Amino acid sequence: MTADPSPSSSSAAAAPSVKGVARALSQHHRAVVGFLFGFFVILVLYTTASGQFGTTNTIVALRSTPAEQNARTSPPPPPPPASSSAPNNNSAQGAVHDMENGKKDEAAKTMGQVRIEDKNVPGTEMNKTTDNVQTNRTDLSSQTVNEASDRMEEELIRQELGQDGDKNESNVKHGAPPKPVCDLSDPRYDICEISGDARAIGVNRTILYVPPTAERGADGQEWAIKDQSRKYLEYIEKVKVKTLSAAESLVAPECTSQHAVPAVVFAMNGLTSNPWHDFSDVIVPLFITARAYDGEVQFLVTDLQPWFVDKYRLILANLSRYDIVDFNKDAGVRCHPRIVVGLRSHRDLGIDPARTPRNYTLLDFRMYIRDIFSLPPDGLGIPYKEANKNASGGVDGGTGKRKPRLMLINRGRNRKFVNIPEISAAVQAAGFEVVVVEPRRDLRLEEFSKAVDSCDVLMGAHGAGLTNFFFLRTDAAMLQVVPWGHMEHSAMIFYGVQAKEMRLRDVEYSITAEESTLYEKYGKDHPAVSDPESIHKQGWQLGMKYYWLEQDIRLNVTRFAPTLHQVLRTLQE
């Protein structure tokens, strides 16, 4: 007979079963809690990510570090040179040749790939200093982030300005044709402006623009322009400006020198060697084009003229603090953040304030020139008034007061005065002190500018010598003797208008036929003497022959005397 199980044995058997259930419930509870916690974390992350990237209507402003701000505000440096030494002539030409011939297969294989050399690349010596500058390249990830940040910032600015039709679409279209960099529409000059990766190769007279990757198209664009302010001059060689295609960009010549400042490419030849053309064709257009850079620009000069650089060195050195580059002989690949090819020109020896970056006028230009040559400030009056401020009595009148000084410019070849002694005596008799000069091309402007500044009147026949009116003081007078041959219009548009714009007094004296040596040479019945209009109707070449090249002037001092008295009264006002 078997014994019944005791209560103690039954409770002992049930204990393991209860413990197992409790353990299972505990594990299940932990699993549920873990799941809920994980779900909550995922939900928070998803919500955060959606808030930053899921909408285009929210702009998140991040405070940049000073270094990042500097990087964004300064122009991006051009790609570094492959070596610190400039290549020889053949290497630069060969690189351009390879690029222009395409290397299409290689370009197609490497399309979309970016190769960055993670090393310090030595830069070449900057013209302003003698210290070597080294630029450290950042790694690929850092560069990618910066480029993406810059593109995002640019896109937000575009949206803020309302330039987008749809804010969800980018304005940059891959493969879109590059925008033109050259403007050929002006009747006087052509101009090309490149901002970004601009590379200049002097020996080839070539400027290359390597567009950003996103803006590269299948085809490039190319222009050939004359880098002077008179684009119709036949003997100015052209400079080639080329926007590279996507394929050409991958095989573009490497930079051999990097420069932190913009560059202006212009020709120094043409009609220069005549002071009027020196100023009208080069110096004034260069002022219009480069003055706004405040000296932080470098000049790459094609057809460089050493005499021009020497004569106008103070002006050139003020417009640019950097050495002038003889571009025709430059064998390297110069990289600048911006390159301007050509010179802007508004009109003959003139400035249109509405078309200049800072609304410069021709008066501003005259003041600028006077400042460069350390002439007295504009607050001073004309010289004879300043000298006589504390004196009493009339202009002469025996009081010892200084007379007004008249500089008589005599031309050396044509349109010259053939009776200079007689004219000088008449000027003195009218109450002037007279100084007779015959300017030469090698004239030292540092000294001559001061001589002009000391005068109250600048007198000369219509011609380049009157260009020295830039050195006169405000309210001084220019007395222009207009040769025979209906030249009053030329006298006004080439000198008279400019004198008035610069707050100078413009007085003109037109000679008669009898005062022209054409009268002596051809007689009174020759059309050049009796009917100038018939000569002009036959073309400018014939007018040039008679009235500009063959004519000299014999002033009738009796007829001229009232004009001298008119000038004297004008100065006394």
Per-residue pLDDT, averaged over 254-258, amounts to 96
Enumerate residues 6+ apart whose C-beta is below 8 A from 301.
265, 266, 267, 268, 324, 325, 326, 327
Q: CA 59 → CA 54, 93, 153, 319, distances in Å?
A: 12, 48, 10, 43
Which of 21-35, 47-61, 442-456 is predicted with the least confidence, judged by mean pLDDT? 47-61
556's tokens: 């009738």
Q: In which band, very low, low, confident or very high, does the pLDDT at 8 lie, cut at 50, 70 and 90? A: very low
190 and 320 belong to one structural domain: yes
What does the pLDDT read at residue 32? Answer: 62
pLDDT at 188 over 80: yes
Structural domain range at position 465: 383-391+401-572
* Domain presence at residue 456: yes
DSSP string, 169-186: S-S--TBPPPPP-EE---
503 and 461 belong to one structural domain: yes
Enumerate residues 6+ apart whose C-beta is below 8 A from 83.
256
345 and 440 belong to one structural domain: no
321 and 430 belong to one structural domain: no
CA distance between the termini of the chain:
155
Burial 388-411 (b: 16+ CB within 10 A, else e): beeeeeebeeeeeebbbbbbbbbb
What does the pLDDT read at residue 440? Answer: 80
307 and 191 belong to one structural domain: yes
What does the pLDDT read at residue 70? Answer: 39
pLDDT at 88 over 50: no
* Domain presence at residue 541: yes
pLDDT, one tens digit per residue, over 21-48 is 556 666 666 766 676 777 666 665 655 5
What does the pLDDT read at residue 43? Answer: 63
* Domain presence at residue 438: yes
Q: In which band, very low, low, confident or very high, does the pLDDT at 235 lie, cut at 50, 70 and 90? A: confident
306 and 413 belong to one structural domain: no
Per-residue pLDDT, averaged over 350-373, amounts to 96
What is the Cα 227 distance to its own chain's centre?
12
Number of domains making up the chain: 2
496's tokens: 């008279």
Phi-psi group of 413: left, alpha or beta (phi > 0 → left; psi -120 to 50 → alpha; rest → beta): alpha
CB 216 within 8 A of CB 245: yes
Q: CA 288 → CA 192, 357, 363, 424, 501, distances in Å?
A: 15, 8, 13, 39, 16
